[in-house]
Every structure is written in structure tokens, then in C-alpha cells.
Amino acid sequence: MDLGIKGEIALVLGGTQGLAWGCAQALADAGARVILNGRNAERGQTAVSQLAGSTFAQGDIGDARARQALVERVLAIGQPSIIVTNAGGPPASPFEETKLDDWRHSYETNVLGPLEIVRALLPGMRERGYGRIINITSFVVKELYPNMALSNSLRIGLTGAMGSLAREVAAAGITVNGLLPGLMDTGALQRVIDDRVRRQGQSEQAVRKAMAESIPMQRLGTAKDFGALCAFLASRHAAYITGQNICVDGGLTKSSI
């Protein structure tokens, strides 16, 4: 299927690995010109070498000055019509063990970072009358998960802000949607697994097995499972889909909405 985005510029935040990398690959396969963002220059250059036609824009979205510099780097390449927001998942911890600095840092990275990048790049989308904003968050937006106080809180906060934006820009031809991964076999999940191994005294194999068995499909998800839907939401075919949060979780989430 031709997604109608050949030649469109797509900015993928945190796009050099994990689920965002899966999105970047799917967007590139659909013909988009992908700008990969990440903090690590070496990893960025490796990713660019594996994705034809892509470029790398280094920057930490959790730092205000670095965000501004990143926007300038991106606009020097071109005006994105597609933005995939993504930030490393907040560390796993129960509420009572979550320190004030953890809240502040995670809020800056997982809420303010994506919001400020999108806000800075919205004028160009409005001018064109076309834009796609896709936020990689988590299934915890619909169903809370144990020992994930930061993620349970901040993912919902970002979702509320982006849901408001979706209604404000819909008439301008800009859509805003969330992609909610379940238990996906990425570095972010590995941190959760490591935390559970430490707390429960189980082996990593046992923790992984229990996680997989909690999913109706009986396996952890992959970046490839994720990327295709991201590309579709970025496409011309998804023009009437906005303000939605779609789980990619193998049936894990039990919420009815």
C-alpha cells in the first residue's frame, strides 16, 4: 500500500533504538525522509548507516537548551510534517521510593521534552495544512502497572496535553495520536525486568516467562510489531483518525476503552 508520505520529512525522537527505531524503519520503507534524534552520537551514526536517506540530529530532549538547539538542527535540514515523540521510559519504582529529583527529571524528559519539540515545529505544519504527531507512550495510560509510579503518572500527563492539542489542530489538517506499547522486548522493558529480578529474587528467565504468560499472545512484543502501525498513522490514509490512543500489546490491556 502506498502511504502517500514519500518525500515527507519525519522526525523520530529517540529514534536510534527500540520501538522508535522500528517506527523509523517503517517510515523510511514508506518513502519518508527520516531525521533520527538521540543523545549518543556514535549510536546515531550507526543507525543512519543502516537507514538509507536518513540523517542524525543529536540532542537531549530532557534539557531545555539542548531542545532548542535540536529544533534549530532539525529546521536546518527541513520542516518535518511527521513527528514521532519518544523518550526513555522513567525508571521503575514504587511511589514511596520515588525521589523528588526522579519526578523532576522524568517530567522534563517525558512530558516537557515532547511537548516543547512539538510546539516549536507546529507552525510549519499549520502553514502546509498537513501534519502527523504520533506519541509513543505506554499501555499504562489505560491500565496501571505495578511499581511504575513515574510512568503511570507522566504518560497520562503527556496524553492529556496531546489530547487537548489534537482537538485544537484537527481543522488544520494535523492529527495527534498515541501508540501504547505493551510488554515489548526492548531496553526499556529490560530495565523493568532487572528491577523485578532484584526485588523478587527471581531469575531473568523466570521474570521474562511470567511476563510472556501474562499476555494473551504468550510472547513479548517486538519493534517490528510496532513500526507498521506508526507508519500508517503517519500516512494520508489516517487523515480522519485523531485524539486516539491505540494499544500494541498482544491483548494485554484489559481496559474496555
**Coil, strand or helix at 168:** helix
CA distances, 257 to each of 17, 63, 77, 245 (Å): 30, 34, 39, 9
pLDDT for residue 89 is more than 80: no
Residue with cell 502553514: 127
Identify the CATH homologous superfamily for domain 9-182+221-245.
NAD(P)-binding Rossmann-like Domain (3.40.50.720)
* pTM recorded for the entire structure: 0.93
Strands annotated E in the chain:
9-12, 33-38, 55-58, 82-85, 131-136, 174-181, 245-248
For the chain, domain boundaries: 9-182+221-245
pLDDT digits (tens, 9 = 90+) for 189-236: 898 899 889 988 999 999 999 999 999 999 999 998 999 999 999 999
- Which of the four pLDDT bands, split at 50, 70 and 90, describes residue 145? confident
CB atoms inside a 10 Å sphere around CB 122: 18
pLDDT digits (tens, 9 = 90+) for 160-190: 999 999 999 999 999 999 999 999 998 888 9
Mean pLDDT on 34-47? 96
